[in-house]
Amino acid sequence: MSHMSPIPPHDLAAHLAEHDNKSMLRFITCGSVDDGKSTLIGRLLYDAKLIFEDQLANLGRVGAANGNEIDLALLLDGLEAEREQGITIDVAYRYFATSRRKFIVADTPGHEEYTRNMVTGASTADLAVILIDSRQGILQQTRRHSYIASLLGIRHVVLAVNKIDLVDFRQQVFDEIATDYLAFARELGFASIQPIPISARFGDNVISASVNTPWYKGLALLQYLETVDLDPPAKERPFRFPVQLVMRPNADFRGYAGQVASGHISVGDPVVVAKSGQRSTVKEIVTYAGSREAAGEGEAVTLVLSDEVDVSRGNLLVPPAAQPYVADQFQAHVIWFDASPMFPGRSYILRTETDNVSATVTTLKHQVNINSLVREAAKSLQMNEIGVCNISTQSPIAFDAYKDNRATGNFIFVDRVTNATVGAGMIDFPLRRADNVHWHSLEVNKGARSAMKNQRPAVLWFTGLSGSGKSTIANALDSILHARGKHTYLLDGDNVRHGLNRDLGFTDGDRVENIRRVAEVAKLMADAGLIVLVSFISPFRDERRMARELMEEGEFIEIFVDTPIDECARRDPKGLYRKALAGKIANFTGVSSPYEAPENPELHLQTVGQEPIGLALKIEEFLDQWMEEK
């Protein structure tokens, strides 16, 4: 039962028809911690009599148990952890309607660590209600959320200057905050910004004008939300159909299931498979309720094509006259979520609407200072920072620019180990190099070169702490293989830093780039048919995994040279541990920078009590067996 007047049964049909014809406004509430976002939406629903009576009764019981007044924020803070801590953690969605308009509101968290949740809520919103505590003014998180809202395509903003009662409803406070915000947001490209003085706790200017702010002549929040003019409908976006599943219940039926991301499609319309360029026409549009003649944006359907074409999950069906970009390199704005920073050169999983592909940030062009909106040089992105990056994917993906199509212009980065979402991106445009640079097919290939050498190419990747004996063992193995007439090459960390990588230091970012370059060189040498011995500390699992994925299946052999750090420090052939422990060397692996030991190496060599030549012979034996098996 609802906390509002019931509808007479004879008016129900007319009411439903009227309801269907109302416009829809999707909006979010955002801002800094404890600005009153959840309380504001709770107050709006309560004063507009849009709360169910059982919800209201539950709030009363909770308030009585705590000896407090009703806490309207609990209408949206539904998680137990949210109620215990008095904060918003996850995005809370609420649907409601008034006589003028339908609404979907996303109440988003204010804490920095939950910025990813704010991005989720903003990704489909038309308007943002940005709250500011009258006592605090504009804070860093206010600026961050405003910039993200702009980046995600939100065009309209309500600046809710909340807790105006705590500054005695003074107009001067409101005017100063509004002036400061308008100056900051001038470069963000919002179509409209409406400042409103509000007391979410007591309901001032929430659904009707407050007697406490006679100096404010504008509309109350709900009145404004009901009447704000959204952008006029743009020319309908081109048809985009991300294929989520190939339906093949029997030999006589093949359909492609998914949701229409934009545009519309009708039986008989021509379509193109975005990645391959294959053409066909729509033979049938199937739904759970039966076949139909057409489908539009947001509808889940199965398309049956007239021709047998190769379409798989991750591809797009599009119209021939309005095709998306298909490229493996593009520029994008990236919002970083993870506590571990983003480094150029590190490999992640990139996921779009339906596609899933390995990707690397090749260049971090700049970071955006959210306080000044100035572009700043940076080597990495820390948690909640925003930057512009060039991205390379292992295989081409189909996409639109985010400004043209939100659904097909966004992606997320996923950590390969934890499977956690570590970043989100909005694609700006493809890079010309993606069209200009093509892999040239060579007549003399890897097979021909390795056959001439009578060997199978391989990359033996030695990893371990400084002083573990990697280079000594690799050098001994190189001598053994050379004596047997094998064609080898040894890439050693110190030697490579004299030339190819002489411009790199020892920060985490430089280490990532160091390994990326060496892995690419090792790949070329393996393509030449060589057995490549790579001796690098390579402290991070992600980079070793990236190196493995560059090579052909079974070509990469990881060798963990496992020596306890105490033993490495005792050997200390270059005196590096002594300097690192004295604080004279920064970012030294095992001392001031982490080493992530391999979890499943092909060979695990424990060096204590062993001679290098004996360990090299053990690798030779493994290699001979590996060659026979292959």
Tell me how many degrees the CA angle 30-349-260 measures, rounded to the nearest 5: 65
What span, in angstroms and rounded, lies between the C-alpha atoms of 353 and 559?
Answer: 38
* Residue 441 is among the residues annotated as catalytic for this protein: no
What is the per-residue DSSP string for 207-218?
SS--TT-TT--S
By the 8 A CB rule, do 526 and 547 touch?
no
Inter-axis angle of helices 470-483 and 612-629, to 10 degrees?
A: 60
Helix, strand, coil in percent for the chain, rounding step 5: 30, 30, 40
CB proximity list for 16: less than 8 A, separation 6 or greater: none
What span, in angstroms and rounded, lies between the C-alpha atoms of 142 and 132?
Answer: 7
Longest dimension (CA), the chain: 97
> For residue 462, which phi and psi values (nearest 5 degrees)?
-85, 125
What is the per-residue DSSP string for 272-283?
EETTT--EEEEE
- The residue ranges of DSSP E strands in 180-324, in sequence order, are 192-197, 241-250, 253-259, 264-266, 270-273, 279-287, 290-292, 294-296, 300-305, 316-318
Of 238, 255, 405, 397, residue with least CA distance to 315: 397
| Radius of gyration in angstroms for the set of CA atoms belonging to the chain, rounded to a whole number | 30
CB proximity list for 35: less than 8 A, separation 6 or greater: 110, 131, 132, 133, 136, 162, 163
What span, in angstroms and rounded, lies between the C-alpha atoms of 44 and 183?
Answer: 29
What span, in angstroms and rounded, lies between the C-alpha atoms of 168 and 359?
Answer: 54
Cα-Cα-Cα-Cα dihedral sign, residues 154, 155, 161, 162: negative
Q: Compute how many other C-beta atoms are within 10 angstroms of the C-beta atom of residue 512.
A: 27
* Residue 90 DSSP code: S
Half-sphere exposure of residue 203, counting CA atoms within 13 Å on the CB side? 11
What span, in angstroms and rounded, lies between the C-alpha atoms of 386 and 382?
Answer: 8
Q: Compute how many other C-beta atoms are within 10 angstroms of the C-beta atom of residue 163.
A: 23
CB proximity list for 99: less than 8 A, separation 6 or greater: none
* Residue 583 DSSP code: T
Q: Any idea which residue has 């992640």 for tokens?
A: 348
Of 629, 621, 603, residue with least CA distance to 480: 621
Of 32, 146, 45, 143, residue with least CA distance to 87: 32
What span, in angstroms and rounded, lies between the C-alpha atoms of 147 and 150?
Answer: 5
Catalytic option among 38, 471, 535, 538: 538
> For residue 262, which phi and psi values (nearest 5 degrees)?
-165, 160
Strand order in the sheet with 556-562: 488-492, 531-535, 458-463, 556-562, 603-606
The residues annotated with a catalytic role in the active site are 538
